[in-house]
Chain A
Amino acid sequence: MAKTKKSSVIADAGRDGLSAVRYAAYSLSGSAYVFLKPLAGGKVLAEFEPKPGVDARAAAGLPARFRLELEDEKFREKIAAGNSSLREFLLLKAVNYAPKAPEPEPDSGLTPKQEKELNDLIHQIEKEIKAETAGGKKDPLGITRTWEDKYGSNGNKKKR
């Protein structure tokens, strides 16, 4: 069985940040066994041993992937540092989000009691109109009928 070829990269944790170096190394742990060792001057040796099944080309590409990921991670850390408060504000707002209540109806200037009385009166009139128009009379509101016709008991109804 061919021996898997180890590779390594020296990263400057002092310049690039230790957590960025750690994450860049970690990102390769799907393809390789990764081990970090300290070097003098704040530097870190990141060793990669390709996992079984990783082809030679992919194995050879590990150091370059590490370097690219390290640059990307440094960029991510800058973004995160510059946005932590805003992001927290936004997500807290989302967690507690409630849709805005619909606009209230315009105020008619009446008190609730007055509004009720008005609605009851309108309702009564509508009922009367319905009753009057039943049978298709020509004068549904009884406008042309006299008071006596409507309310009198003599039975002297003048025909029109």
Chain B
Amino acid sequence: MKEDKKNSPLFFSAGLYSAEALKLAAAVFSARGGVRLTAGKGGTEAVLSGGINPGEFANEALNQQCRIDLSARNSRLSGIIVTKALLSASGSSKKGGK
């Protein structure tokens, strides 16, 4: 896919955006165009193509980073509630529901 000439590559500092956040953001945008991530000194360079708005991509990267920050705090509790809901629905915690 041709890279958008008018968008210069974005550089995301490793101290502010984790590589995982950028990968997740790239996955979100995979249907809309191309995102090429290259690890560099102190961070990651992202080259966008297919008409992806760089501002939207940066927002999604921050969204994913904030989700990662939050999961460090809440993932256990969230997991318990979700598991409870799934097991109750499936009947795994009681009779029936085959």
| A and B directly contacting (CB within 8 A) | yes
A→B interface (CB under 8 Å): 18-19, 22-23, 25-26, 29, 33-38, 44, 49, 51, 80, 84, 87-88, 91-92, 95
- Enumerate chain B interface residues (CB-CB to A < 8 A): 10, 13, 15-17, 53-56, 58-59, 62-63, 65-66, 69, 73, 76-77, 80-81, 84
Query: Which one of B13, B54, B56, B69 lies within 8 Å of A38 (CB-CB)?
Result: B13
**A129 to B62 CA separation, bound complex (whole angstroms):** 84
Q: Collect the chain A residues with CB atoms within 8 Å of residue B66's CB.
A: 19, 22-23, 26
Judge whether A36 and B55 touch: CB under 8 Å.
Answer: no
B80 touching A92, Cβ below 8 Å: yes
The CA of A33 and the CA of B58, in the complex, are separated in Å by 7
Summed over the interface, the residue pairs from A and B with CB atoms below 8 Å come to a total of 55
Indicate whether A91 sits within 8 Å of B81 (C-beta atoms), given known contacts A19-B69, A22-B65, A22-B66: yes
Q: Which residues of A contact B84 (CB under 8 A)?
A: 95
Residue of A22, A49, A84 touching B16 (CB-CB under 8 A): A22
- Name B59's closest neighbour in chain A (CB-CB): A29
Q: Can you list 22 pairs linking A and B with CB atoms under 8 Å apart?
A: A18-B16, A22-B65, A22-B69, A23-B69, A25-B62, A26-B62, A29-B59, A33-B54, A33-B58, A33-B59, A35-B10, A36-B16, A36-B17, A36-B62, A37-B13, A37-B16, A38-B16, A87-B77, A88-B76, A91-B77, A91-B80, A95-B80
Q: A87 to B76: give the CA distance in the assembly, Å.
A: 12
Q: Do residues B15 and A49 form an inter-chain contact, with CB atoms below 8 A? A: no
Cross-chain contact B73 with A26 (CB below 8 angstroms): no
Separation of A44 and B66 alpha carbons in the complex (Å): 16
Shortest CB-to-CB span from A28 to chain B, Å, is: 9
Q: How far is the CB of B17 from chain A (nearest CB, A)?
A: 7
Q: Are B76 and A29 in contact (CB under 8 A)?
A: no
Given A22-B69, A38-B15, list of 10 further CB < 8 A pairs? A18-B15, A22-B65, A23-B69, A26-B62, A29-B62, A33-B56, A51-B55, A88-B76, A91-B81, A95-B80
The 8 closest A-B pairs by CB, nearest first: A33-B55, A29-B59, A19-B69, A36-B16, A38-B13, A26-B66, A35-B58, A26-B62
Chain B residues with Cβ below 8 Å from A84 are 73
Q: Quick one: which of A22, A87, A88 has the most chain B CB within 10 A?
A: A22
User: Cα distance A123–B91 when bound, in Å?
Assistant: 44
Residues of B within 8 A of A23 (CB): 66, 69
